[in-house]
Chains A and B, each alone.
Chain A
Amino acid sequence: MTPTHEIPSHPTITFTVNGEACSFIMGDGSHELPPSYTLAQTLRERLGLTGTKISCDHGACGCCTVLMDGKAVLSCMLLTVECEGKEITTIEGLGNPVTGAIDPLQQAFIDNTAFQCGFCTPGIIMSAKALLNENPSPTVEDVKEALAGNFCRCISHYHVLDAVIATVKKGGE
């Protein structure tokens, strides 16, 4: 009377990253994903998606921002196990997967030189993208509010605001 279906002792977790399904077996074995892994760690260390940056690792700076079901989240503050069934988008997944064209927001960052060192840039672009998903025609004040959790030490803020507003204007044309 051996049971045929045992509950697996190592549960798996499955979610989508940039349109592709990925699953991990959770556990402390060498090929498993430790339950303590944050989403940021999983993205960077297991999926090679190093575009997502870790700065404070503490929920304070926004460098690790990614989209979860279209909304901005701090990937350093989320455990990977919390992502079951979610759709995650990282900076690498913006743009058109068919044509390979970058997102208009990314183009606006290039056109406005909306960065200096660029370390904060992926997080800022993802926060701005989440805002535009929710509100396609934000005011400058809305943008400032939405990006208030994003640290930029080089003070590229002014050019970032120009870039986001330029995207809004282009979208409205």
Chain B
Amino acid sequence: MKEYRFIGKSTPRKDALDIVTGRTKFINDLTVPNMLYGKVLRSPLPHALIKNIDTGEAMRLPGVKAVLTYKDVPDWMGGLPLHVRILDSKVRYVGDAVALVAAETEDIGEEALRLIKVEYESLPAVYDVEEAIQPGAPQLYEQFPGNVLPQGIPAFGPHSLRELVIGDLEKGREEADFIVEGSYAYENIPNPLPPESPGAIAAWEGTDTLNVWSASQGPHMIKVSLQRRMGSINLHSMGTPVGASYGSKFMSWQYVLPAAALAKATDRPVKFCYGRSEHLAAFTVRLGSRIHGEVGIKKNGEVTFLSGDWLVNTGAFSETSQAMVAVGCGEVQLMLRCPNWSLKPKVVCTNRTASGQIRGFGGQELECALLPLLTMAMEKADIDPVNFFKRNYVKPGDGYYWRDGNWWVCRGIDYTKAMEQGAVRFGWKDKWKGWLKPSSVKGVKRRGIGVGVHGNADVGEDVSEAYVRLDPNGTATIYSGLAEHGTGQRSNICKMVAEILQLPLDRVSVTPNDSRVNPYEMGPVGSRGTYAIGSAVIAAAEDAKRQLFEQIAPKFAVKPEDLETEDGMVYVKGKPGTGIPWIKGMDYDRTVMGRGRFEPDFALPNFMMIFTEVEVDTETGKVELLRVVGATDVGQIIDPPGIVNQLNGCLGSAGIDSALFEETVIDTQLGRIMNPNMIDYKWRTFAELPEMEHVILETPIPSHRFHAIGVGEIATSPGPSAILMAVTNALGVRIHDYPLTPDKVLSALGKINTAKRRVK
């Protein structure tokens, strides 16, 4: 394998010093002169019409500058298709926005909320996805009869994937040795819960230009998606470092639009940051996912068909659920080679806080619901799950429908080796005793193992553009709208450019995240940072280098191809003695600007497998996660500590722990979330870390300059179903109701009789 100077080497993150000294400015650390604070009055009812709203007293409170209701907010819309107003005359979940306040201080703003008087006409509410589609169920939107949203997403093209219908189900049925059917769900709607709650500052210049600073995973997309919806204004989007997102801060209209409306009403800059319980109770959670399915399998583990109704509970609105359904339908084909499919999704609205974009993006939700069904099939065929995944994970040459509705053929690599080495590191062979068999039993403690897999071909989704500017003093500046949300990707693109230009890392920097400066950038989502964003940046750096050599070649009287550069010097290949600094070749009054663009390519799936070992206390019902081994192949590691960090992320942000203890609990009498705080919403602490190891292979990926592919987004995805399998095996009885809290474990063991299942 090629030795690089920066790629694959551990280098400190470029932003490390600012982070460890507290100098990094997150959105809530910023202030703009003359700034007001925005606050939102939220509905106490799950479904109601606003009959009357009296803002007089709130308006009279000194320090209050604006109070807006549905009667006076601009008609800017969000949702897919556009169906969510900033404020509406109807509220659809506890926490829905009722009024907006702008005030001189946060305290005054909160006081004002208490002075707004609202009369509601309460409407019946519905929370369960199947109840919501019954005739006579409460209707959330007039335009969506039966609470079912139209499928498809224009951004994915005219044929965007709406369902998965392939082959001949009858044939698949005939060929099957075993057929299993059942209904399973992953609908504990965990919260990704980044430590920084979402927020933005909006300030108008004149009437047609809006400046937005926001914690967004895709700041450039705020400009692209919102400026048209806001009446063809100019939107300048400035991205701040993101106090993590895990996908959730990509669709930022939920906080940008209220700030912009208040800024317009007051003619002053307005900051609106969610408070913590507001974040937990009224910001987006995972999709609810339920499957009624049937699957056929042969004795050798070949899957002959899969059919099912996939019910997707998107809560009070669809932020982008149809897109997640499209990607989920794609991803399930990567996990499962199968010739005959009939998977019919339905995206349904209910009266709880909305579901939205979260890492795993539809695929995690679908596969977590599907896995119990598949494991029953594996059990019937008596096949080891590692062998099942080895046989059925997508291989080069296999085809699949992707989100655009097109048939793509995999040109990636075979991940069998990664699976095998992961299994060896985990000690799978020794511990696997068969289906529903614990790997060991000691008194009341039973251990079990489980494995999950996930892949995504979105590593090459969407367009990225970048420029690289070379200055005569031997520095390079990357123009990119890439947000830093924790992966270190802004640092990594510097490594890529430093490698190409052979510049010391401290001579390469990235422009501030400002849409006035940088070209189009979709954002670091779907593990696209390395392949899509990286390739655009790499192309720009190569283009800049080519232009540099063209400028300088005449001075050497050689062809540009004969030149090389290192540490800001240019010389004739093989003759380092001939070197001159860039400034001598370029002169002080010139710069070079290289351009790069990446075009979508869905032919390279990535891969993540997670092995887990749990210990269940059959007396208390507590499940303890003992050990996790992750296995992947990334072609080429860009930054070793960075990738390990990302893979360690499999536990939190609505990942593995969403199978163990994480859930958003809704009181279905009142429609309220009962745990909107960080004590009642459970999260893993330093004192409860499992052993964690990763097998990261580096089989070169052909399509990337450094043969690398991203994997970060999917680190969480295979985990929850692996836990389910592990606990099922430990107990020797099937259990599939995420999360596996002690009450459910004890009731699976027949030790307690739990009352009717909580309905989400």
Contact = CB atoms under 8 A, between A and B. Distances in A.
Interface of A: 34, 36, 44, 49-58, 60-61, 63, 90-92, 94-95, 102, 106-107, 109-113, 115-122, 125, 143-145, 147-161
B22 A155 contact: no
Contacts of A118: 15, 19-20, 24, 241, 243, 486
Nearest to A59: B679
A149 B194 contact: no
A119 B244 contact: yes
B605 to A, nearest CB: 24
A163 to B, nearest CB: 9
30 contacts: A36-B107, A50-B22, A50-B25, A53-B195, A53-B243, A56-B677, A110-B13, A113-B488, A113-B645, A115-B19, A116-B244, A116-B649, A117-B241, A118-B15, A118-B241, A118-B243, A119-B195, A120-B195, A122-B20, A144-B687, A145-B686, A145-B687, A150-B686, A151-B195, A151-B685, A152-B195, A155-B649, A157-B648, A159-B648, A161-B686
A169 B16 CA distance: 21
B61 interface: no
A51 B24 CA distance: 7
Contacts of A63: 195
Given A119-B26, A148-B687, A61 B678 contact: yes
A55 B275 CA distance: 8
B642 A113 contact: yes
A117 B242 contact: yes
Nearest to A156: B645
A158 B692 contact: yes
Contacts of B13: 110, 113
A112 B648 CA distance: 14
Contacts of A116: 244, 486-488, 645-646, 649
Contacts of A145: 686-687
Interface stretch (B559-567, B580-588, B650-658): B650-658
A119 B645 contact: no
Contacts of A150: 685-686
Contacts of A90: 22
B237 to A, nearest CB: 19
B195 A111 contact: no
Nearest to A109: B20
Contacts of A95: 21
Contacts of A160: 686
Interface string B194-237: 11110000000000000000000000000000000000000000
A58 B195 CA distance: 13
Contacts of B15: 118
B195 A55 contact: yes
A153 B193 contact: yes
Nearest to A63: B195
Contacts of A61: 195, 678
B678 A117 contact: no
A59 to B, nearest CB: 8
Q: Do most interface residues of chain A lie in helix, strand or loop, or is the interface mixed? A: loop
B685 A149 contact: yes
B12 to A, nearest CB: 5
A25 B244 CA distance: 37
In the A-B complex, the 5 residue pairs with the smallest Cβ-Cβ separation, listed nearest first, are: A51-B22, A119-B243, A117-B486, A91-B22, A118-B19
A147 to B, nearest CB: 4
Given A110-B20, A117-B195, A144-B689, A159 B25 contact: no
B678 A52 contact: no
A106 to B, nearest CB: 4
Contacts of A148: 685-687
A58 B679 CA distance: 9
B28 A155 contact: no
Contact of A153 (B20, B194, B650, B689): B194
Contacts of B292: none
A150 B485 CA distance: 19
Contact of B678 (A106, A122, A125, A151): A151
A113 B21 contact: no
Contacts of A91: 20-22
Nearest to B196: A119
B644 interface: yes
Contact of A111 (B12, B243, B677): B12
B216 to A, nearest CB: 13
B648 A155 contact: yes
Contacts of B194: 117, 119, 153
A158 B648 contact: yes
Given A91-B22, A119-B26, A60 B679 contact: yes
Given A117-B195, A152-B686, A159-B648, 10 more contacts: A55-B276, A109-B16, A112-B641, A113-B488, A113-B645, A117-B243, A118-B15, A148-B686, A154-B244, A155-B650
Given A60-B677, A157-B689, A117 B244 contact: yes
Contacts of B645: 113, 116, 154-156, 159
Nearest to A162: B641
B14 to A, nearest CB: 11
